[in-house]
Amino acid sequence: MVASDNSYSRFIAAVKIVLPLAALALLSTLFLFSRTIDPTQAIPYSKVDVDQIVREQRVSAPNYTSVTKDGTAIAVTARTARPDITNPDRAEATDLTARLEFTDGTDVRITSDQGEIDTGKGFAVLDGDVVIDTSTGYHITTERLTTALDQTSVVADTTINADGPLGKLTAGHMTLEEDTDAPGQYLLVFKDRVKLIYDPQE
């Protein structure tokens, strides 16, 4: 019985030494045979095109307001705007609306499908199905116009179609600017191949 107890004790003692050594051996083989990590290999998530994400940035319902040197209040809003990653002053926008309130109490509302705002250069370009409504009774359509942001100056260099107090009018060019001879007054001028169908209101 004593001999048997001694054998069992020796077996337990050996197991206490062998098992930990075996575990260490197994762990060492895991490290020895594991795949070497190449730090130059890109992880899957790094394949995302950061430049594309920046290009596709959108700002919802942006607005720009200012007062020109001659006192006209300008407000430009849009449905969305996409900043230019190379020029923080510039943005492309969709569904633009521009409102100009003049010092003489009259105002103009302009809408377009899309456009560009450049606060650095001080202008906004409205492009595509441009509609201009004035408080003096003119309803004007064209394809593109440019409005300054620091002074009262609206220029349309595409074909103009207008309905107004005098009747129906077409022209190749239009400007809306402050009258240099009468500060505080504003002139809507049609130029280039102007045709008017006179229809005086009663």
- 115-154 pLDDT, tens digit per residue, is 999 989 999 999 999 999 999 999 999 999 999 998 899 9
Q: Within 10 A of 59 (CB to CB), how many other CB atoms are there?
A: 12
Which pLDDT band, with edges at 50, 70 and 90, does 156 fall under? very high
pLDDT confidence of residue 84 = 87
112 within 8 A of 96, measured Cβ to Cβ: yes
Per-residue pLDDT, 14:
61
Asked if residues 54 and 80 have their Cβ atoms less than 8 Å apart, the reply is no
Q: In sequence order, what DSSP letters do the residues of 8-54 get, joined into one string?
A: HHHHHHHHHHHHHHHHHHHHHHHHHHSPPP-TTSPPGGGGS-HHHHH
Apex 89 CA angle, 85 and 91, nearest 5:
65
Name the pLDDT band for 180 (thresholds 50, 70, 90): confident
pLDDT digits (tens, 9 = 90+) for 56-76: 577 788 888 889 988 999 999
CA 6 from centroid of its chain's CA atoms: 86
pLDDT at 129: 93
List the Cα angle 174/152/95 in 5-degree steps: 70
pLDDT tier, 185 (very low <50, low <70, confident <90, very high otherwise): confident
pTM: 0.69
pLDDT level of residue 23 (50, 70, 90 thresholds): low
The more confident residue out of 120 and 200 is: 120
Q: What is the mean pLDDT of residues 3-14?
A: 61
pLDDT at 18 (0 to 100): 59
**Separation between Cα atoms, residue 78 and residue 62, nearest integer Å:** 6
Q: pLDDT tens, 31-60?
A: 555 555 555 555 554 454 555 545 557 778
Taking residues 184-194, report their average pLDDT: 89
Residue 179 pLDDT: 86
Q: How far is Cα 143 from Cα 82, in angstroms, rounded to an integer? A: 21
Amino acid identity of residue 148, one-letter, is: A
pLDDT of residue 37: 55
